[in-house]
Amino acid sequence: MKKKLLAVLLCGVMAASMLAGCGGEEQTSTTPDASGSVENTEAAADDVADAVEGTGVDLSSANVAVFYYTYADTYISSVRTALDAKLDALGVKYQNYDANNNQTTQNEQIDTALAQGANILIVNIVTSGSVDASQAVVDKASAKGANLIFFNRAVEDEDTAGDVLGSYDKVAFVGTDAPEAGHMQGKMIGEYLVENYDTVDLNGDGKISYAMMMGQLGNAEAIYRTQYAVEDANAVLVEKGKEELVYFDASAAEDSRFQVDQDGAWSATAANNYMTTNLSQYNEANKNMIELVICNNDGMAEGVITALNTAGYNMGYDDEGKLQGTQIPVFGVDATDAAKQLIADGKMVGTIKQDADGMASCIETMVENVASGKALTENTGFEADPEIANKIYIPYGVYTGEAE
């Protein structure tokens, strides 16, 4: 009897969890019509011809599926929140998927969504910068004639620009110009150093030694940021007659002048562990100090700052509004709320802002375009790549706290 009761209870829990799961994922605002959705896909296909008569936006036929590379990513979470709100306001049927950082999972999710009749795919691809991975997604979409919007993570690298985006007429990319963040960060660092050279150069040897926290090996964004942050900073320094940056660990090989999160998670934990170990070896007592820390994202910057705080650096403002103790400038990318707060507290110098809201509104415009039969990239309000018309760039911005 007791056993039966337990079995019944377990079944009940399972059923409840399945219902809850489905209920949570399916965010339907309008009743979808399966047959209608197929028809409308075809109508949207003959874009320009039908655009004239398709003035009334017909959102009931749109069946949107949004694929996120991982729910764990801070920046992507803010895009997700913004996009959810916009799609809700639009009253369109949509469903979110979490690939949990696994391309195979994402491909399977895309197959499932297409089988369910999704006609607008919004894809935040897991394997960034790989033509093979993104081409596979394009092929899936084109086989069903679905519209495809890639966002945030690069679908091709510099050498293969246009290969994927030129291979299908109903595809577009909304993202950032991956190298831009690195360039901007580098320029910001260079300019900051030129202004504060002597304060930053703690041991007064005329050179700034830096540490670099890389988010993930083999990720296009991480590679560009790691490379250009240093190169562009050097360019600014050399122009002003200063020495180039020197990697803090002289024995590191030229191709490994960075410390990378070995789990590829861009995590604060990894950066914190690296930095505490670095500080045990490189500190002011040893007259060999890390004088600058460059991070691929704000999460890692936070981890670094916690490590610096524990060692007594970057303690922020005192009661009179003066910075206390020795400052090691730390730079990040993303402009998360936490990073903005650190900048306001004087513990961090600057970051590069990724516009989550802008990205979401650009995607929203594209969804509306599809529904009203317009061309995918019409009227987004953002600039396209000069050579590839369906590659829309959301600009980055420098954030050092002064602007707001």
Site residues, other proteins (CB under 8 A): 6, 71-74, 76-78, 80-81, 98, 217, 249, 251-253, 256, 259-260, 262-263, 265-269, 272-274, 276-281, 283, 285-286, 298-299, 302-303, 305-306, 309-310, 336-338, 341-342, 344
Nearer to other proteins, 49 or 85 (CB): 85
Minimum gap (Å) between residue 310 Cβ and other proteins: 5
Q: Which tokens go with 105?
A: 């999972």
In terms of CB distance, is 299 or 350 closer to other proteins? Answer: 299
Residues 6+ apart with CB under 8 A from 216: 222, 260, 261, 264, 265, 266, 296
> Is-contact 78 297, C-beta < 8 A?
no
Which lies closer to other proteins via its Cβ, residue 81 or residue 199?
81
Q: Alpha-carbon distance 161 to 371, whole Å?
A: 28
Task: Give yes or no for a contact between 237 and 188, defined as CB atoms under 8 angstroms apart.
Answer: no
Q: Write down the least CB distance from residue 23 to other proteins, Å.
A: 14
- Give me the least distance between CB of 27 and other proteins, in Å please: 14
d(CA 323, CA 347): 9
Q: What would the two tokens of residue 90 be?
A: 């639009």
The CB-of-15 to other proteins minimum distance in angstroms stands at 16
Mutual angle of helices 178-195 and 220-239, in 10-degree steps: 30
Q: Which is nearer to other proteins, 10 or 238 (CB)?
A: 10
Find tokens 């007429």 and name the residue.
169
Query: Nearer to other proteins by C-beta: 39 or 263?
Result: 263
Q: How far is the CB of 255 from other proteins (least distance, A)?
A: 8
Percent composition of the chain: helix, strand, coil (DSSP 3-state, to 5) = 45, 15, 40
Nearer to other proteins, 198 or 404 (CB): 404
Cβ 213 to other proteins, closest distance in Å? Answer: 12
Query: Residue 298 CB, nearest distance to other proteins (Å)?
Result: 8
The contacts of residue 172 (CB under 8 Å, 6+ apart) are: 148, 149, 150, 165, 366, 376, 377, 390, 391, 392
- In whole angstroms, how close is the CB of 12 to other proteins at the nearest point? 16
Cβ closest to other proteins, residue 79 vs residue 236: 79
In whole angstroms, the minimum distance from the beta carbon of 76 to other proteins comes to 8
Q: Which residue number, 201 or 298, has a Cβ lying nearer to other proteins?
A: 298
Let me know: does 326 contact 295? Beta carbons within 8 Å: no
Give one DSSP letter per residue of 9-32, joined into a string: HHHHHHHHHHHHHHHHHEE-SS--
The token duo for 383 is 């600039």
Q: What residue type is 164 in one-letter code?
A: V
| Between 36 and 312, CB nearer to other proteins | 312
Q: How far is the CB of 138 from other proteins (least distance, A)?
A: 28
Give dist(CA 111, CA 108) in Å, integer: 5
Task: Give the count of beta carbons closer than 10 Å to the beta carbon of residue 131.
Answer: 18
**66 in Cβ contact with 96 (< 8 Å):** yes
Residue number with CB closer to other proteins (206 or 325): 325
**Total length of the chain:** 404
Give the count of alpha carbons within 13 A of 106, CB side only: 25
